[in-house]
Copies of this chain bind each other. A is one copy, B any other.
Amino acid sequence: MRHARSNGQVIRYADMFAAMGAAPRLRILRLLLAAHPRGLVAGAIRQRLGIPASTLSHHLDTLRDVGLLRVRREGTFLWYTANTDSLQQLMNFLYAECCTRSQAVAPDRCVLVRQALAPPMRKVNS
C-alpha cells in the first residue's frame, strides 16, 4: 500500500520539524551547520550557548533521535555533527509540498533556484 509509506513519511518529517521547533535546539543545529563538517564537541556547544550540561544533553538526544545529528567519540570527547542527508531530505520534502505537488510557492521564488539560474556575480572593488 503506497499510502502507508507516505503516512509514515509525514510522521517522520513532523518529528524532524518538532525537533527543530525549539529555539535552543535550532540554535544548536545552526551552530553545527556553521561548524560543518568538523562539528563541535558537546562542551563547546554548552559554552557557546550557555546551556547546562544535562539540558544540552537532552536536546542533543532529541535531535539525534530524529536523525538530524550524528555523534562520534574521540577520547573523552563527543563530536556532534549535523546530518546533512536528513536536512537535504527535509528541504526536498518542503520543496515538493510547496512547489511540485502544488504551485503554492513559485519555484523561482526560492533562493536556491534563483541562485542556480542567476548569472555568476561579478566581484566589485571596495
Binding site for B on A (CB under 8 A): 10-11, 13-23, 25-27, 29-30, 33-37, 82, 84, 87-88, 90-92, 94-105, 107-113, 115-117
**How many protomers of this protein does the assembly include?**
2
Cα of A34 to Cα of B91 in the assembled complex, Å: 18
Q: Is the CB of B22 within 8 A of A18?
A: yes
With A95-B91, A104-B87: A20-B26 Cβ-Cβ less than 8 Å: no
The prevalent SS among residues of A at the interface is: helix
Q: Is the CB of B94 within 8 A of A94?
A: yes
Among A104, A105, A115, the most chain B Cβ lie within 10 Å of the Cβ of A104
Q: Is the CB of A115 within 8 A of B113?
A: yes
